[in-house]
Each structure stands twice: as structure tokens, then as C-alpha cells.
A and B are shown apart, each in its own frame.
Chain A
Amino acid sequence: GAVVSQHPSWVICKSGTSVKIECRSLDFQATTMFWYRQFPKQSLMLMATSNEGSKATYEQGVEKDKFLINHASLTLSTLTVTSAHPEDSSFYICSAPKAGSNSPLHFGNGTRLTVT
């Protein structure tokens, strides 16, 4: 069964509004979670690393103020796309390692964001 739950699976919002995406680890604690963005027919681009109890680490070129990340607990990380614009439309995927540094990442089912 799924070990990482991501919600919502899809969302349509108007330009200028904000959207929050949740990522939960279901049966394990995750001090670290990763947020990816995927464009059509392209690979995953790591946006940021979410750290429980501290600030997220953003990849180069990712706007911190636009993509707000909060790792509120050991099982929940949220990504908020602020003042969304049509170019933010994309597929956003979160992931977390279940146990140990050698464990594979477990991915949520992704969120399809469409900004109109």
C-alpha cells in the first residue's frame, strides 16, 4: 500500500491565488521530504528539501517566497504555491525515505496543478 500520501491529486486555481499541497508519510516518520516538479515528458526537477524543525533547502533557481515549504511534523510537509500564475502549472510530486540512508524514496501520487 501507499506509504506516502499526497493531497490533492489535482487542483485548478485562478491566477493570483495560492494553493497548498500536502505530503504525509503514513506509517513512518520522515525528518526529510523532497519536493519535485515535473514538466510534460520531462524528468523530475528537485525543487527543495523539506527539513522537519528547520528551514527548507531550496535548489538553485527556485524562488523561496513563491514556493513556501513547511515541515510541521515528522509526518507532514506542505508546499504552498503563492500568487500562482499559469507558468506554475505543472505536476508536483513529494517523496520521503522510509528508513535509513540507503532506503529508496517513496513517492506520493503527485498533484496536477492548473492555473487559469
Chain B
Amino acid sequence: AQSVAQPEDQVNVAEGNPLTVKCTYSVSGNPYLFWYVQYPNRGLQFLLKYITGDNLVKGSYGFEAEFNKSQTSFHLKKPSALVSDSALYFCAVREGITGGGNKLTFGTGTQLKVEL
């Protein structure tokens, strides 16, 4: 079975400072990893994904994430946070096997709050 852990319910950061939202995963095969962002009363928006290739993945709105196989982590990062980045962030994983479909397992979410 696949699983995702987001150890922090909330992350607070000052605008202009770098931010990190943590995610660790567990799958039996190769992981396909995703980050999504959710604004209040809205669906999820795709930020970035790791399938294969470079461990550092760049995504939308200046976000990036680093895949670390040895630590089974896929932390989301941004060099300089904006107040508008304040939202709920979800990490998700799916096992990358043929016929695995697109069934994603989501973490519990991390509320990011960026303050002036």
C-alpha cells in the first residue's frame, strides 16, 4: 500500500523568506509524486510532479521540490514566499507501475501562512 506523510499541520513564514513544506512517502515500487495547492472552497491546483529524471523539479508560481530517494522525501520549496502563497498544500503519491491507473494517495495537508 502507498502512503504519504505531511508532518506539519501548519507552516508559518515571513514574506520574502524561503519556505519548505515537508512530505515523505511510502510505495513498494517507483514513486510518482505530486504537489497540489488548495485555496478556500476551491478544488486542487496542480503545482508540480516528479516521475523520473532530475531530482529537482520546478513547477508553477516559483515552487520547486526535491526528490530524495534515500530519505523517501519530496519536500516543497520556494526561495522567497509571498503572502498570496498562503493556502493548503497537499503532497500525493501514486505507484508508477503499468496499469496502476491514476489513483492518488494524498497527505493530510499543510496549511501555509505567509505573513508580512
Contacts and interface: CB of A to CB of B under 8 A. Distances in A.
Interface residues of A, number: 25
Contact of B34 (A49, A101, A104): A104
A67 interface: no
Given A43-B90, A43-B109, A44-B90, A101 B101 contact: yes
Interface string B47-58: 001010000000
Nearest to A49: B103
Interface of A is mostly: strand
Contacts of B29: none
A105 interface: yes
B102 A97 contact: yes
Given A32-B101, A32-B102, A42-B109, A108 B41 contact: no
Interface in A24-66: 32, 34, 41-44, 46, 49
A103 B51 CA distance: 10
A46 B103 contact: yes
A71 to B, nearest CB: 14
A109 B68 CA distance: 32
Contacts of A105: 34, 44, 46, 102, 104
Contacts of B104: 34, 46, 105
Given A43-B90, A43-B106, A104-B46, 11 more contacts: A32-B101, A44-B44, A49-B103, A91-B41, A93-B43, A97-B102, A102-B49, A104-B49, A105-B34, A107-B36, A112-B41
